[in-house]
Chains A and B, each alone.
Chain A
Amino acid sequence: MSKIQVEDINRNIYDIKNEDEYAFKIQKGLNREIVEEISRQKNDPEWMKEIRLKALETYNSLELPTWGPDLSELKMDEIATYVKPKSKLNTSWDDVPEEIKNTFDTLGIPEAERKSLAGVGAQYDSEVVYHSMKEDLLKQGVIYTDMETAVREYPEIVKNYFMKCVPVNDHKFVALHAAVWSGGSFVYVPKGVKVDIPLQSYFRLNSPESGQFEHTLIIVDEGASLHFIEGCSAPKYNKVNLHAGCVELYVKDNAYLRYSTIENWSKNMMNLNTKKAIVGKNAQIDWVTGSFGSKVSMLYPMSILNGEGAKTEYTGITFAGKGQNLDTGFKVIHNAPNTSSVVNSKSISKEGGACTYRALVRIAENAKQSKCSVSCESLMLDDNSRSDTIPVNDIQTDEVEFSHEAKIGKISDKEIFYLMSRGLSEEDAKAMIVRGFAYPISKELPVEYAVEMNNLINMELKGAIG
């Protein structure tokens, strides 16, 4: 059988580099002066400035993780943590400066807004340059704005929720985030309001040797529902960029949130992102995650099921190619009776890429009658690549149903033969099998992303071996 090569993502549209033009770029590195300067630039209220400075202390006191991918290429002294683009926050695409708008145009963002979204936010480097939402949602009391506006206009809400779901000392990069965060989205969906079409925030990091630290805070109040989509990309530079965002989600009793992410950072990106959700009684959070980009990722969305009957589903695919080390997975804490979780994870490794599925399931002592089922499958496309499965299952009580299954292997020769006997060429057969493998995930993605993902899985024969 011959070996296949899965083509790389056509990165042309992501790789459009704009001149590194900015209104303000903070000096590289990290110290108290830099954090104070960011705070001054952002006109922080005093309480926020305090959070930042305290977080910096925490950052300095914490060690780098002693596990997972190698982070030694990341030199904080060479990263600019704040880059203010030459644009203010706009509510009309026409007002966004030409060059920045062109970038988002190419990425299809304004187009998507017209077609299928209820609201859009767009961040360029450290600041949100565009935010808008459909009129009727505004009338129903839905708030969708950039994080800085939220700090100014809804300080009481932000104070109650900011860095409460994800504690500042969670790990070193959370502390870093809390010290230098900038941009991101704030969403509040009032009680009982159902937002039928998705909101989307798009994060673009253009500036080289810089970091993006957007903060996303979403509160879906009792009985409300929302679908939120997050997209990320950046052009490739030779030096390492850093993304250490933070996503805090509060899904109140009987509420529903679906959080979809398509992460397509360039391959010089260290993606050290943190996402957590606190889920109330009979509420549900569903995560849909596609991880395709970045050089190194450490990303483990977490659902904390605090309310009785809370549910969560995680559906994720990770696709690691040449030079990529993508360490992803899911964490769930069952903290109340009758909670349930379903995990479905897939990964594809090729051309020396490494995928790790790292996960935690914890069913606490009081979480009687809880259920959890986990399935992970890894596909190895060649023998230069790597695929590891490292799931921790911590079960602290007996009245539970817990099961975990994992599989690792290559495309089955038998399946290829079967399809070829029906007239499919070897490459068609393999492409069909890989698409079929990814299908349970791609079907959960918004349509335009699913199409994009299928296009990624275009294969060609690389020449016969043995």
Chain B
Amino acid sequence: MKTLLEMKDLHANAGEKEILKGLNLTIHEGEVHVVMGPNGAGKSTLANSIFHNPEYTVTAGSIEFEGENIQDFTTDKIAKKGIFMSFQLPEEIPGISTLNFLKFAKGKMTDRPVKIFEFKKQVEEYMQELNMNPKLIERNLNVGFSGGEKKKNEILQMLVLNPKLAILDETDSGLDVDAIKTVSKGIEMFKNDKNAVLIITHNTRILSHLKVDYVHILVDGKIVKTGDSRLAKEIEENGYAKYK
């Protein structure tokens, strides 16, 4: 099995403050990983460090993707390598329709012009699967979308851009039961044995709809325990107290 992401002894700051304090994580093709942890453990820092968010700094350790050090890559280059990140709070960009944006991004990602007719059809199919209002693609990117619509729009973008590794940062938070089911369905649609998913979450709700290979417990900037889905169950029942 090919290794996709490998992080070794990763230390990272959010602003001035050290959040990740020596994190190790390896993800192979075909795997679904879940990183769980209490608030402030470093979950979002993990995702944003991989993506070279200027608000975060990696101070030590390494991040490799498919054997290549990606630490100095700009965010767009990381995306082009085949990593996708769904945002907790997707930005609203006025003046550009969701469809045109997707088409533009897809073109950049594949370095090929996008055939609009087929592309639109494909997007509409995905939207149907995700129970999204088809009118949303004409609206400006995320502008005036509800919280749930924004989250679904992230999953839609994941499906459209079809990365090798999808990092889903708190995609389930703030969603109702039906929306969680839909999002899980989107992840199932995406998943195959050539790609991988990293789900970052603080609760276990989404896991009941998904087949998960590894569950990692992140506390105070380090992974303190790794197990299978039974570990998530244990957290659901007992919380993180034991690991603090």
Binding site for B on A (CB under 8 A): 1, 412-415, 417-426, 428-429, 432-433, 435-440
A426 to B95, Cβ gap below 8 A?
Answer: no
- Assuming A418-B91, A422-B105, A424-B104, what are 18 further A-B pairs, CB within 8 angstroms? A413-B54, A415-B91, A418-B87, A419-B91, A420-B76, A420-B79, A421-B51, A421-B87, A422-B76, A422-B157, A423-B161, A424-B76, A424-B105, A424-B108, A433-B95, A435-B95, A436-B94, A439-B95
A412 to B54, CA, bound (A): 12
Q: Closest residue of chain B to A429, judged by CB?
A: B76
Interface size grouping (class) on chain B: 20 to 34
B95 to A440, Cβ gap below 8 A?
Answer: yes
| Smallest CB separation, A432 vs chain B (Å) | 6
| Smallest CB separation, A437 vs chain B (Å) | 6
Contacts of A439 in B (CB 8 A): 94-96
| Smallest CB separation, B233 vs chain A (Å) | 32
Contacts of A423 in B (CB 8 A): 76, 79-80, 105, 108-109, 161
A426 to B54, Cβ gap below 8 A?
Answer: no
Q: Quick one: given A422-B161, A423-B161, A425-B108, are A417 and B75 in contact (CB under 8 Å)? A: yes
B85 within 8 A of A: yes
A420 to B95, Cβ gap below 8 A?
Answer: no
Interface of A is mostly: helix
B108 to A1, Cβ gap below 8 A?
Answer: no
A425 to B104, CA, bound (A): 11
Q: Could you write out 16 A-B pairs with CB less than 8 Å apart?
A: A413-B54, A413-B55, A417-B75, A418-B90, A419-B91, A421-B78, A422-B105, A422-B157, A423-B80, A425-B74, A432-B101, A433-B95, A435-B96, A437-B94, A437-B95, A438-B95
B residues 204-242 near A (Cβ < 8 Å) are: none
| Smallest CB separation, A421 vs chain B (Å) | 5
Q: Closest residue of chain A to B143, judged by CB?
A: A436
Contacts of B108 in A (CB 8 A): 422-425, 428
A423 to B95, CA, bound (A): 19
B91 to A420, Cβ gap below 8 A?
Answer: no
Contacts of A412 in B (CB 8 A): 91
Contacts of A438 in B (CB 8 A): 95
A-facing mask of B66-96, CB < 8 A → 1, else 0?
A: 0000000011101110001101001101111
Q: Closest residue of chain A to B111, judged by CB?
A: A423
